[in-house]
Amino acid sequence: MYPLNRNRRLRTNEAVRSLVRETAITPDDFIVPLFVVEGKNLKEEIASMPGYYRMSLDLLKMEIKELWNLGLKSVLLFVKVPEKLKDNAGTEALNTDGLMQRAIKTVKEAVPEMLVMTDVALDPYSSYGHDGIVAEGKIINNDTTAVLAEMGLSHAKAGADILAPSDMMDGRIFEIRSLLEDEGFHETGIMSYSAKYASAFYGPFRDALDSAPVDADNIPKNKKTYQMDPANRDEAIRETLMDIEEGADIVMVKPGLCYLDIVRDIRNAVNVPVAVYQVSGEYAMIKAASQKGWLDHDAVVLEQLTAIKRAGATMIASYFAKEAVKLIS
């Protein structure tokens, strides 16, 4: 009791604060999302994500080497697919010489030890901007999961270490895991977007890949029939446990900051690693506010990342990864 116990004794200076600190951010905590485009010597800044870029494969190779030298050992690849290659069935996703497949090989050529994770979803390949095949105004679940499994297998054959299905179709983890096992890819991991919410924070990401749902008759205007309702909490546990039963090695909560209660709930409920995606909207808000002089950019970045890890994240996919490791070093 006070005055025998004074909590402020352990806050006196930075030395003691760092000694008793419960949560620390290290380079090992990060997954670096990367956007890839066709072409050569292309580095296109994403307007709604200041300081973040789409890169051609030649520059991707340089980026991978820089990340590795910073101590960042894991990347998550996304591709911007040319409009002419998009259709409702995601046909280009299965192209063995497609951009994603070549991007995987490029990373492995640059740094063989780099852990390569790949986005497994149809929206970058879809002429309608949806994560699934569209028919009669609905997203068709089972036809979609069959394509996703073939897509994941294609990534594994190209050298991907971990597949990251981000679509939220029912049963897709089982379909992907079963096909991988049948084809002998027993060591290829799956990081499932298990609790992915129908969030309003994804806008800049969709700008980056030109993957927003199209505004057309008889096409769903949003992704609410497959991504989770932001009002729901218990459902996240059910989704996550089902994915683990189906073969997921890592589970993910997306977005991050608004869903820290979900992160903690899932961390308490499962015995597998829990990833959290600090999404594009979270990145954009910090950049915009700091550019206005309303926030201390570096302090807010580290505070948010610390909060995500403190909530229970084993790893964090973040567009701030490069900046963060420079700050903590």
User: In sequence order, what DSSP letters do the residues of 76-118 get, joined into one string?
Assistant: EEEE---GGG-BTT-GGGG-TTSHHHHHHHHHHHH-TTSEEEE
Contact, 266 vs 235, CB < 8 A? Answer: no
* Amino acid letter, residue 100: M
Q: Is 287 a known active-site residue?
A: no
**Choice among 80, 196, 309, 322 that is catalytic:** 196
**Choice among 86, 254, 287, 309 that is catalytic:** 254
- Strands 74-79 and 30-36, sheet pairing: parallel
Hey, what are 14's tokens? 């930075």
d(CA 118, CA 135): 26
Question: In which residue are the tokens 């991978």 written?
Answer: 64
| Partner residues linked to 116 by β-bridges | 75
Closest CA to 308 of 326, 320, 294: 320
Hey, what are 244's tokens? 């683990």
List CB contacts of 34: < 8 A, sequence separation 6 or more: 55, 60, 63, 75, 76, 77, 78
The CB-based long-range contact list for 217-224 (8 Å cut-off, 24+ gap) reads 218/136, 218/137, 219/128, 219/130, 219/134, 219/137, 220/130, 220/134, 220/137, 220/138, 220/139, 222/198, 223/130, 223/131, 223/168, 223/198, 224/198
Q: Is 196 a known active-site residue?
A: yes
Cα 206 to the chain's mean position, in Å?
A: 13
User: Active-site residue numbers?
Assistant: 196, 254
